[in-house]
Chains A and B, each alone.
Chain A
């Protein structure tokens, strides 16, 4: 096999068959050392060959530098900043010790955490159940299902600010088609974004709408990859309807389901655009979630309270890592990978 064969032949599967046949004719211990070393010379010599070490460092340098400077170093910087207060000019130069951490123990911040938990819970539950309720019927062999599926993924294109502004118009009393529908049904519409009892639900609902497109895409792909033989066997064994769904389909698409739950949790936890654009954290702080609070303390109205915002950022970090640990430790054990 010549070099040109390799560089022109692009289909991986075709190439692997070709090279497989080449390799079966070789003595079993011949090419083994070649796998690891960069050159044809015996592996002992090239084990830590300086040229390859240099190349390795060169290849890793951009990613390590970027992540080191803007993800890892800022973590330590955040701990340092959390002990600093801002002076009159807004520069974080005044040492305040643990004062900002003490401020995290107040009922106000407890309310922020509670709101964040409620918001995340609504978004994850509804943001997974709704796409599932669409993906399952869409997986049937019926005409038009492809068109429907493509249409339902469209909200995925919306950014946080675009979705928020469109939904503000959708709920604007002067034109709201939602309110109009409710009026037809004889229900008077609530103040979606102005009533503090409704604002968090409204903002969460818009987030559910935003994530539904991507989640549908992933769940539909999971359902499309189901093993026909297992479904057939289940059908012969008499599994139908709900039983078939909970005992057969759900376990089989559990990798997709798990992926969707993890990504939706993170999206919900990190939402800024929706509460900031739609309600600006209000009314009366009703939509002031953890990330909104970080934005508000550090950057809103020149507040420049970088210390408290950094301390709240560390809380977000801990919450995020804990959630990931719980999800990977508890839920993933029940995920069935083929």
Chain B
């Protein structure tokens, strides 16, 4: 088990066998997603599906052309939701965390506990009052209905507060002595210095927004043009005529940004979280 000594040949062989078996079982759905969108149903609807069949882009063309659940507007909505939530989390969390760490506030401690307490509230517990509230605002047909309840986030405040607190206080003092105001300090010194945490929050927030399901399901139930890709995939699957190739093509489109983020952003995610939340 120790990483110091290289494992012997028997242990290595066992390790590789176990990892390969696990990879085949756990990653077959990923392989099916990636290849299935390029296969016709005659290859897919077999047991097991023939992944080396007649490659074609017909399913992608079909998925983008079908008008039952238009995917391009849903893609636009998903992008809107992911980006707006990401930017809003960054702005609200940065400002609040800055105030909690660097500004004197009479309510510093109670406010921090309040932010922390909101992390403990499962969103599903308050989804009913929020849905009624947003509907009563009369913006149920606007894209903003998809993001309005999620513009601030207690976890974001917590994550950035931890990062800001670890920022060397000597630097803060030096900047103050040099006459550096709060805004200048925040934007030119603190934020660049806390890039790992900022990047982690950005990746996490975008993933949250992009993959959100319950809320867009409620909002789009009264107006189909507010489908995000997540609810569109469900709507496609509920449609009996959808063939597996078309579904998998749709899912691949849904996965593109998240797959890229998981492949290239996981370093930031782990660094940001392990620095802030784990330790």
Contact = CB atoms under 8 A, between A and B. Distances in A.
A151 B27 contact: yes
Interface in B80-96: 88, 91-93, 95-96
A261 to B, nearest CB: 12
Interface in B251-279: 251, 254-255, 258-259, 261-263, 266, 269-270, 273-274, 277-279
Contacts of B111: 60, 64
Given A137-B15, A175-B48, A314-B125, A34 B115 contact: no
A193 B170 CA distance: 60
Interface core residue of B26, B46, B114 (most chain A CB under 10 Å)? B26
A336 B112 CA distance: 25
* B interface, size bucket: 35 or more
Q: DSSP majority for the A interface?
A: helix
A222 B221 CA distance: 42
Nearest to B181: A38
Given A166-B248, A175-B244, A157 B261 contact: yes
Nearest to A21: B170
Contacts, number: 358
Contacts of B217: 272, 276, 295, 299
Nearest to B36: A169
A162 B207 CA distance: 13
A195 interface: no
B57 interface: no
Contact of A170 (B29, B126, B210, B278): B29
Nearest to A170: B29
B19 interface: yes
Contacts of A168: 237
Interface of B: 1-7, 11-12, 15-16, 18-19, 22-23, 26-30, 32-33, 36, 44-49, 88, 91-93, 95-96, 98-100, 103-105, 111, 114-115, 118, 120-133, 148-154, 157, 167-180, 182, 184, 188-189, 192-193, 210-211, 213-214, 217-218, 221, 230-231, 233-234, 237, 244, 247-248, 251, 254-255, 258-259, 261-263, 266, 269-270, 273-274, 277-279
Q: Which 5 A-B pairs have the closest CB atoms?
A: A66-B152, A77-B129, A63-B96, A159-B211, A74-B126
